[in-house]
């Protein structure tokens, strides 16, 4: 990845739009980003990282916190980054979430985060993708790095790239795991561990199951189980023989019991048949009486038709008598009605003259119909004319009033337009005042926030300074004690050596054989352990003191930055720096209201002018309409007056009561109704008279016919009654009551016949059954079944007990065999799984670090990678340290129970001793960290295949180097550019400015920072 252009707007300390065109470097592949502390050098790297991944180079800031405090509200924070990768050019634009001014109206709104990515071509740009996370994913895809890897390999941020050197083994594993994606090897460890665990658990479960199976049978091993099965099988064979004998005895007893039960049943059946026959014989007298009753019923049944005929004649006589009474009553009513109707008919006949007079009145009224219709039509036309005249007069009056109202509105709207025009002229003034007050309020709030933060930082700084001073004093004290112990130890070693010296024996230190002044000591000699513990404590305190110093420097830097920001804001605010914020808010609100009112008036002005123009046109149109209506009114009113005179002449020729069609029609209808009523009354009376005469004649004829029918019915009834009395005597019934009691229905007669026949059949069946039972029970004696059943029950119980014993033993043998089979199967599986576990378990233990080095499989892979990194780093470190230092990976562990394989040490060729990288000085540590970072970049590129590392940025650290070391470090970075890389160095060290021709100068102004390339 090689940068082409970077555009920052309202980003970090850059308030305005800042364009950095990397083509300005020309052919220089190494350049210095130079400027004072806090100017914004690191912000350039933040902008590149933010454009690519949406976070800063140190991953300590998000997009929202990167907005410039110097920027105006109308300037959006955004970054546009053009870069080249594998001969393809790309552009990314990111806008973080932020507060901005509304596009319409006043006030602020929230700007959502945006991200867009294009591919740059000769003809323009081609959209690749948009969306915050989608752009980040696309960057990871084409560059090949996550954000964390990018910061470790390409962009080495301030204070971050030392981590790989100074980290402990666990931290170094986390860093390298993220860079090289070695999670797969850790997953292999986990898979092996889980597989071994599953196998071990499976074996243990099977062994527990086998043990349980043996314990269940009470056996110690499988051979005893086999003996138990053989013994139980022999017992089962013996029980089977016994069972056959018992079964034979049961069957014999069952046969005897069945024969005895059948004999007893036959004797019991003989007794029951005898009882049934005797019971039927006892009913013989009742059935003899039923036979006599049946004979009488059959005789009575032969007289049924004669009795029915007599009854019908009696009913016919009764009906004819009732009919004669009805006909006589109807005849009397007809006589009375005829007399009443005849009187009404005579009255209507006498009103003939009245009917004729009404007919003539109707004819006379119908003669006026045409004249009244003409009058009605003419009157209607006059009324329509009157309505038209009134409407024109009303319209004329309404238009006149409307004309007056519109003239008044014209005056009012004209005044409103003038007022709106005056306010619109003031709108820019209101807007300018509002924006100035808005910016002033924002800066005033920022000033207060900076002061609050500065107060907090002062407190933090005070605490950090006190802790640093306290730790420094403790460090000096412990160091002095260490020097004292070291001196005592040296003296002690000399005294110990002196004790063994003798005259004429050479000294192992100086070789002299004379020892005139032997070393002595009277103080306690410290042990080597005490000395190591003290130096360990001193080193720990030194490291902690340096950490506290770094923390104090960070707080001091933040304090200076805040003080500079406060000073810049106070200088910008001048006399407004002490103004009350509440007063500013009130002032801003008043200006806002005035601005909003003016804005509303501005929006209304065009509408008011348009409305005024329309009202002027309307006023002229109404004025013209009013003149036209006055002329029409005069013409129509004359026509109406002339028509009224003609109407008066037509009304004089028609009676006043019928001058309208409605009145004439009502009078005609009234006359017609009166005539029709008289005519209908006569017609009705005439018809009723004729109908009454006809009904009277019919009633008289019906009465005579009824009298004749009654006489005939009486004669026939008397004849039929005499014939029925004769038949009763012949049938043997002396009285009618005897006949009545003997009568039965046909169904009852049939039922009785069937009952008698059924009785006779039952007697015959009972006699036959008794004879058959008597024959079947001959030579049979009664047996005691209870004694036989007890004997049978006892034999069956013994047989069932034998069956149970046989079944139980057979089931037990089956269980023994099943358990025996399961034990054999378990033992086979245990052997197979133990063979597997011997391999998988060993692999799991080794991969999990249970080896002499405490090294896991993943750490082994990472260790191989770290060897490659330290090899590449050592080549550069040799150059930068004049051949003194070499980086090495050691298998030693800091603690016995800690994981090993990723510890680093430095080999000092001057002393020939390996020591911890933490013992390096500040400058040495920087050179070693830089070498390690460059070595890491080389290894990542070699292992990643398609990843292209065309650029590297190094942020700070050069201030800790002496001139010679600085020269070696620069030479190493220059070697990088020979390989085609672009190298950017961020530093405020003056010596670098003199050594590097191409620079990106970053300058602080009262309106934020600005930057430009300078090539000498």
Confidence tier at 960 by pLDDT (50, 70, 90): low
Burial of 658: CB neighbours in 10 Å, binned 0-12, 13-18, 19+: buried
Lowest mean pLDDT among 55-69, 424-438, 867-881, 999-1013: 55-69
pLDDT of 444-460, one tens digit each?
Answer: 787 788 888 888 888 88
Nearest C-alpha neighbor of 114 from the set 134, 102, 91, 131: 131
Q: In whole angstroms, give the CA distance from residue 918 to residue 166.
A: 6
Three-class SS state of 525:
coil
Contacts of 477 (CB under 8 A, 6+ apart): none
Distance set, CA 607 to CA 217, 581, 593, 602, 620 (Å): 108, 39, 22, 10, 20
Stretch 80-102: mean pLDDT: 89
Token code pair at residue 886:
């070499």
Lowest mean pLDDT among 23-32, 172-181, 334-343: 172-181
Q: In whole angstroms, give the CA distance from residue 236 to residue 491.
A: 98
Q: In whole angstroms, give the CA distance from residue 906 to residue 922.
A: 14
Top pLDDT among 365 and 10 is at: 10
Q: How many residues does the chain have?
A: 1016
Lowest mean pLDDT among 257-271, 292-306, 469-483, 832-846: 292-306
pLDDT for res 944: 63
Top pLDDT among 386 and 1016 is at: 386
Does 381 score more than 80 pLDDT?
Answer: yes
pLDDT for res 135: 94
Each as own residue / partner, the long-range contacts of residues 795-800 (CB below 8 Å, 24 or more positions apart, any chain) are: 795/246, 795/249, 795/250, 795/253, 796/250, 798/246, 799/243, 799/246, 799/247, 799/249, 799/250
Under DSSP, the state recorded for 576 is: G
Nearest C-alpha neighbor of 973 from the set 990, 995, 942: 995
Q: What is the mean pLDDT of the chain?
A: 80
pLDDT for res 92: 96
Stretch 93-120: mean pLDDT: 84
* Cα 137 from chain centroid (whole Å): 26
pLDDT for res 166: 78
pLDDT for res 8: 93
Stretch 555-583: mean pLDDT: 78
Nearest C-alpha neighbor of 865 from the set 175, 297, 147, 82: 175
Does 52 score more than 60 pLDDT?
Answer: yes
pLDDT for res 961: 65
Confidence tier at 119 by pLDDT (50, 70, 90): very high
Distance set, CA 815 to CA 113, 228, 810, 811, 819 (Å): 75, 11, 9, 6, 6
Q: In whole angstroms, give the CA distance from residue 677 to residue 968.
A: 145
Lowest mean pLDDT among 24-38, 661-675, 868-882, 906-920: 661-675
Does 955 score more than 90 pLDDT?
Answer: no
Q: In whole angstroms, give the CA distance from residue 713 to residue 725.
A: 19
Does 915 score more than 90 pLDDT?
Answer: no
Does 6 score more than 90 pLDDT?
Answer: yes
Confidence tier at 518 by pLDDT (50, 70, 90): low
Confidence tier at 93 by pLDDT (50, 70, 90): very high
Q: In whole angstroms, give the CA distance from residue 130 to residue 117.
A: 6
pLDDT for res 511: 56
Give per-residue burial for 121-143: e unless 16+ CB within 10 Å, then b.
eeeeeeebeeebeebbebbbebb
Strands 78-85 and 30-34: unpaired
Lowest mean pLDDT among 347-351, 467-471, 776-780, 895-899: 895-899
pLDDT for res 694: 80
Top pLDDT among 5 and 350 is at: 5
Stretch 924-946: mean pLDDT: 76
Token code pair at residue 19:
């364009």
Cβ neighbours of 415 (radius 10 Å): 10
Residues of the chain with pLDDT > 70: what percent? 90
Top pLDDT among 94 and 736 is at: 94
Stretch 217-231: mean pLDDT: 78
Spell out the alpha helix ranges (H) of 120-221. 132-143, 147-153, 163-166, 169-180, 183-217
Top pLDDT among 71 and 976 is at: 71
Under DSSP, the state recorded for 42 is: H
Q: Tell me what percent of the chain is helix, strand and coil, each rounded to the nearest 5.
A: 70, 10, 15
Token code pair at residue 938:
């080389």
Residues of the chain with pLDDT > 90: what percent? 6
List of domains in the chain: 2-144+990-1015 (3.40.50.300), 186-294+744-782+796-838 (no CATH)
Nearest C-alpha neighbor of 616 from the set 794, 411, 799, 440: 411
Top pLDDT among 521 and 696 is at: 696
CA-CA-CA-CA torsion sign (909, 911, 913, 919)? negative
Q: In whole angstroms, give the CA distance from residue 796 to residue 253.
A: 10
pLDDT for res 449: 84
Lowest mean pLDDT among 382-391, 405-414, 836-845, 939-948: 939-948
Q: In whole angstroms, give the CA distance from residue 600 to residue 607.
A: 11
Does 186 score more than 80 pLDDT?
Answer: yes
pLDDT of 61-83, one tens digit each?
Answer: 555 567 888 777 778 899 999 99
Q: Is the pTM of this model over 0.85?
A: no
Confidence tier at 564 by pLDDT (50, 70, 90): confident
Top pLDDT among 208 and 570 is at: 208
Each as own residue / partner, the long-range contacts of residues 435-438 (CB below 8 Å, 24 or more positions apart, any chain) are: 437/584, 437/587, 437/588, 437/591, 438/73, 438/588
């Amino acid at each position: 990845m090689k940068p082409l252009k970077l555009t920052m707007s309202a980003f970090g300390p850059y308030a305005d739009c800042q364009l950095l065109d990397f083509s300005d470097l020309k052919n220089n592949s190494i350049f210095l980003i130079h400027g004072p502390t806090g100017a914004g050098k690191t912000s350039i790297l933040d902008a590149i990282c933010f454009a690519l991944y949406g976070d800063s180079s140190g991953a300590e800031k998000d997009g929202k916190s990167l907005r410039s405090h110097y920027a105006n509200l109308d300037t959006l924070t955004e970054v546009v980054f053009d870069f080249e990768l594998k001969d393809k050019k790309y552009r990314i634009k990111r806008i973080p979430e932020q507060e901005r001014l509304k596009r319409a109206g006043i006030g602020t709104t929230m700007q959502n985060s945006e991200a867009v990515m294009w591919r740059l071509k000769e003809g323009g740009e081609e959209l690749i993708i948009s969306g915050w996370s989608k752009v980040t994913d696309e960057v990871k895809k084409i560059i090949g790095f996550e954000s964390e890897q990018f910061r470790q390999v390409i962009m080495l941020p301030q204070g971050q790239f030392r981590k790989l050197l100074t980290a402990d083994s666990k931290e170094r594993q986390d860093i390298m795991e993220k860079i090289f994606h070695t999670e797969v090897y850790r997953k292999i460890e986990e898979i092996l561990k889980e597989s071994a665990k599953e196998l071990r658990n499976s074996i243990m479960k099977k062994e527990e199951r086998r043990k349980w199976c043996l314990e269940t049978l009470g056996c110690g091993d499988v051979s005893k189980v086999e003996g138990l099965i053989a013994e139980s099988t022999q017992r089962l064979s013996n029980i089977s023989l016994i069972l056959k004998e018992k079964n034979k005895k049961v069957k014999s007893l069952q046969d005897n019991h069945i024969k005895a039960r059948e004999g007893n049943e036959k004797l019991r059946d003989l007794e029951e048949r005898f009882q049934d026959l005797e019971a039927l014989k006892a009913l013989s007298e009742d059935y003899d009486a039923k036979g006599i009753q049946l004979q009488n019923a059959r005789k009575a049944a032969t007289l049924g038709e004669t009795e029915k005929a007599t009854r019908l004649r009696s009913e016919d006589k009764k009906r004819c008598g009732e009919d004669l009474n009805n006909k006589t009553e109807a005849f009397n009513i007809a006589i009375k009605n005829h007399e009443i109707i005849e009187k009404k008919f005579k009255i209507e006949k006498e009103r003939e003259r009245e009917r004729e007079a009404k007919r003539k009145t109707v004819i006379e009224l119908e003669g006026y119909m045409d004249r009244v219709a003409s009058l009605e039509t003419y009157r209607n036309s006059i009324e329509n004319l009157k309505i038209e005249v009134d409407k024109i007069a009303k319209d004329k009056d309404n238009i006149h009033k409307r004309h007056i109202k519109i003239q008044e509105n014209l005056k009012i709207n004209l005044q409103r337009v003038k007022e709106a025009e005056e306010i619109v002229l003031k709108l820019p003034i209101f807007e300018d005042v509002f924006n100035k007050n808005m910016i002033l309020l924002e800066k005033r709030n920022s000033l207060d926030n900076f002061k609050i933060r500065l107060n907090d930082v002062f407190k933090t700084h005070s605490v950090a300074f006190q802790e640093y001073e306290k730790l420094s004093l403790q460090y000096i004290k412990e160091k002095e004690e260490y020097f004292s112990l070291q001196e005592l130890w040296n003296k002690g070693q000399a005294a110990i050596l002196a004790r063994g010296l003798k005259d004429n024996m050479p000294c192992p230190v100086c070789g002299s054989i004379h020892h005139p002044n032997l070393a002595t000591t009277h103080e306690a000699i410290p042990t080597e352990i005490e000395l190591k513990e003290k130096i360990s404590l001193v080193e720990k305190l030194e490291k902690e003191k340096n950490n506290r110093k770094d923390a104090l420097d960070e707080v001091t830097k933040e304090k200076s930055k805040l003080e500079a920001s406060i000073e810049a804001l106070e200088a910008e605010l001048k006399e407004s720096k002490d103004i009350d914020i509440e007063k500013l808010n009130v002032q801003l609100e008043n200006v806002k209201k005035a601005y909003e009112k003016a804005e509303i008036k501005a929006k209304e002005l065009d509408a008011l002018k348009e409305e005024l123009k329309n009202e002027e046109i309307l006023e002229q149109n109404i004025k013209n309409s009013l003149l036209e209506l006055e002329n029409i009114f005069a013409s129509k009113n004359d026509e109406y007056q002339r028509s009224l005179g003609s109407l008066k002449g037509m009304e004089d020729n028609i009676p006043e009561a019928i001058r309208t069609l409605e009145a004439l029609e009502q009078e005609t209808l009234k006359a017609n109704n009166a005539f029709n009523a008289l005519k209908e009354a006569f017609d009705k009376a005439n018809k009723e008279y004729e109908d009454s005469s006809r009904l009277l004649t019919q009633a008289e004829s019906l009465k005579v016919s009824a009298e004749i029918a009654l006489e005939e019915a009486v004669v026939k009834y008397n004849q039929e009654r005499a014939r029925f009395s004769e038949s009763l005597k012949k049938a043997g019934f002396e009285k009618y009551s005897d006949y009545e009691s003997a009568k039965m229905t046909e169904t009852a007669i049939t039922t009785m016949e069937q009952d008698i026949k059924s009785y006779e059949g039952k007697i015959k069946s009972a006699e036959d059954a008794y004879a058959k039972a008597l024959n079947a029970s001959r030579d049979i004696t009664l047996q005691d079944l209870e004694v036989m059943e007890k004997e049978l029950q006892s034999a069956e119980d013994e047989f069932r007990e034998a069956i149970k014993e046989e079944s139980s033993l057979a089931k037990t043998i089956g269980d023994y065999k099943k358990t025996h089979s399961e034990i054999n199967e378990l033992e086979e599986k245990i052997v197979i799984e133990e063979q597997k576990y011997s391999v998988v378990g060993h692999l799991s233990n080794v991969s999990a670090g249970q080896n002499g080095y405490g090294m896991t499989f993943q750490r082994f892979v990472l260790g191989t990678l770290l060897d490659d990194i330290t090899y590449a780093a050592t080549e550069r470190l040799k150059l930068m340290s004049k051949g003194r230092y070499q980086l090495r990976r050691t298998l030693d562990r800091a603690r016995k129970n800690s994981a090993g394989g990723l510890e680093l040490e430095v080999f000092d060729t001057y002393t020939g001793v390996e020591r911890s990288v933490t013992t390096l000085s500040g400058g040495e540590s920087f050179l070693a960290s830089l070498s390690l970072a460059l070595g890491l970049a080389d290894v990542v590129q070699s292992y990643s295949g398609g990843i292209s590392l065309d650029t590297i940025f190094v942020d700070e650290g050069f201030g800790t180097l002496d001139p010679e070391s600085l020269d070696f470090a620069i030479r190493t970075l220059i070697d990088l550019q020979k390989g085609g890389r672009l190298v950017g160095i961020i530093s405020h060290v003056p010596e670098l400015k003199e050594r590097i021709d191409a620079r990106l100068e970053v300058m602080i102004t009262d309106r934020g920072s600005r930057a430009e390339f300078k090539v000498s």
